[in-house]
Amino acid sequence: MTVLHLADEREAADLAAFLSRLLHYDRGAAVRLQAAGTALAVFGRPPSFEVLAVRAVRLSKPYENGLDVTLDLTVSAGEFLESVDERAATAAVPAAVTGPPWAGVLPPRGGWRSEPGLPAPEELRTAVAVAVAEFRSRTGELAPERRTRTELDRIGRDIWSREIGTTRLPVRAVHAAQSLGFLRPGMPAEETALLSAGTWLRLRTPYGSVAVRRTGLAPLGLTIR
């Protein structure tokens, strides 16, 4: 079994927290793992947000059992979470699973450039709070016969597809970053960045990134890597 040696107990705890949040939104969630040397990237797609979440994990040494060049496979998020030993700062890689369509579609590794106009973290959190309040208000005003999944989804799409200022970053991406623990209270502005590469936009913080296509990730009209 392939064993990952994480940098420390805190790194293991943060990885476990990220996996737990993904499983909160999808009990059958899968994650794609990519590792080389002492860096591991964990990719997930919480269905409620229609974004790609990326958690970078530091390793204390390359993984074992002869896989000393690269690691790239899709696994069960639940099984991976169960294997995380926070005290020992290790995680065992589960058997590969047949990944969902998004797992074959990842943002480019390089070529990212900074984009202007990203508000400060607290302004981003305020934008999410305003959007949540509007959603609750509009859905709460619906007559019982109109409170259908179709109508709730329509209101949600209207609100969460709105863009943050002139950035073209949808509010749902910021909501995802906050819900997944990437956008935390008290973060200084210099710790967040908006990056672009081709048609991808990425909101990056020290705790993880959320990536979306400018044309929207949901239709999955993407290039396979």
Angle of the 149-160 helix axis to the 121-140 helix axis, nearest 10: 150
Q: Is the pLDDT of residue 60 over 70?
A: yes
Token duo for residue 117: 């106009």
Q: What's the confidence (pLDDT) of residue 70?
A: 74
**Per-residue pLDDT tens for 62-85?**
766 555 567 899 999 999 999 999
pTM here?
0.88
Q: Which domains does the chain have, with CATH numbers?
A: 3-104 (3.10.150), 113-213 (no CATH)
Name the token pair of 148: 């259908």
The pLDDT of residue 215 is: 62
Task: Reduce the DSSP state of residue 194 to 3 states and report it.
Answer: strand
Residues 106, 112, 116, 120, Cα dihedral to 10°: 60
| Confidence band of 38 (pLDDT split at 50, 70, 90) | confident
Residues in the chain: 225
Q: What is the pLDDT of residue 72?
A: 92
pLDDT higher than threshold 80 for residue 216: no
pLDDT of residue 36: 81
> What are 165-215's pLDDT values in tens digits?
999 999 999 999 999 999 999 999 999 999 999 999 999 999 999 999 876
User: Is the Cα dihedral 160, 25, 22, 101 positive or negative?
Assistant: negative
Helix (H, G, I), strand (E, B) or coil at 18: helix
pLDDT tens digit sequence for 76-128: 999 999 999 999 999 999 999 998 999 988 999 899 999 999 999 999 999 99
Q: Are 184 and 64 in contact (CB under 8 A)?
A: no
